[in-house]
Amino acid sequence: RKRAPMPDDIRAAKGGTPLVSLTAYTTPMAQMMDAQCDFVLVGDSVGMVLHGLPSTLGVTMEMMVMHGQAVARGLTTAMMVIDMPFGSYEASREVAFANAARLMAETGAAAVKLEGGVEMAETIAFLVARGVPVMAHIGLTPQSINTLGGYKVQGRGAARDGLMADARAVCDAGAFAVVLEKVPEVLADEVTALVDIPTIGIGASAGCDGQILVVDDMLGLFTAFKAKFVKRYAHLGEDGADAIAAYAADVRARRFPAAEHVFSDEAPAAKGAKP
Ligand code: KIV
Ligand code: NA
């Protein structure tokens, strides 16, 4: 692929080869995944993963702008989506538009993502009508952790109908895709059949139109806890701790720096000079 897809291209991937996506927060991480991902999400998970916050609630617009700019510098062929942080879009459609426009203008993101279903449908329609492509996020919505009462599976049993209504509402409002987080597999498949926009699963189903994971989770860099839906493809946190222990032992034994890491007192011969 020579250029990044647009939100309409992502929408058109409904029912095709599953969409691949990960989160990213920095330039090198974005560069690492650019060629593999259809889109990259600058997630507000950055607060927990990189800043040590206890939840995503303390993430600010300034943090999203700064990480969004860093990620944008690392992407050439993946589309960039950026999360609207808690408090930046719930109060009114106008506040949501102002903050979405700022995120897009200052980072170059092609789209924003916001959490919520039926209750956010009007806001999604307002944004889409004004040039802001919106990715919706329903099921477990971490910004509502204090009203949801924990990071529980959403849409089980009697809650199924509400989740289906949320999916229909965000689709009808004009969202170009919808993230389904931590819902029963069978329900994720039903939602995927119900809506004509791609469903992006995280703790959902292999039947979704795409998948997303937090990159630090799948690389084994974030190890404070591991959700059941995370598959660790690497153990970079352990590798890093081992490397640091080896460095510490080398320093204490004066094995580091070695001959190849130190400088002689003589200036190197000028290039092209005869010996
Ligand atoms: O912030 C985030 O990382 C997310 C994804 C997990 C969907 O919203
Ligand atoms: Na998020």
Beta 134-139 vs 111-115: how paired, if at all?
Answer: parallel
Distance 252 CA to ligand 2 centre (A): 42
Q: Binding site annotation covers 83?
A: yes
Give residue 275's pLDDT: 62
Distance CA 82, CA 87 (A): 15
Catalytic one of 62, 106, 122, 181:
181
Q: Check residue 21 and give its pLDDT.
A: 98
Confidence of residue 61 (pLDDT cuts 50, 70, 90): very high
pLDDT of amino acid 225:
87
Domains contained in the chain, CATH given: 7-230 (3.20.20.60), 235-261 (no CATH)
Q: Model's pTM, two decimal places? A: 0.96
Q: Is 45 annotated as a binding residue?
A: yes
Q: Answer yes or no: 181 catalytic.
A: yes
Task: Using the atom order of ligand 1, give the atom closest to the CA of residue 200.
Answer: 7
As a whole number, mean pLDDT of residues 30-57 equals: 98
DSSP state at residue 81: E
| Residue of 44, 178, 231 to mutate, ligand 1, most atoms within 8 A of C-beta | 44
Q: Tally the C-alpha atoms within 13 A of residue 173's C-alpha that lie toward its C-beta.
A: 30
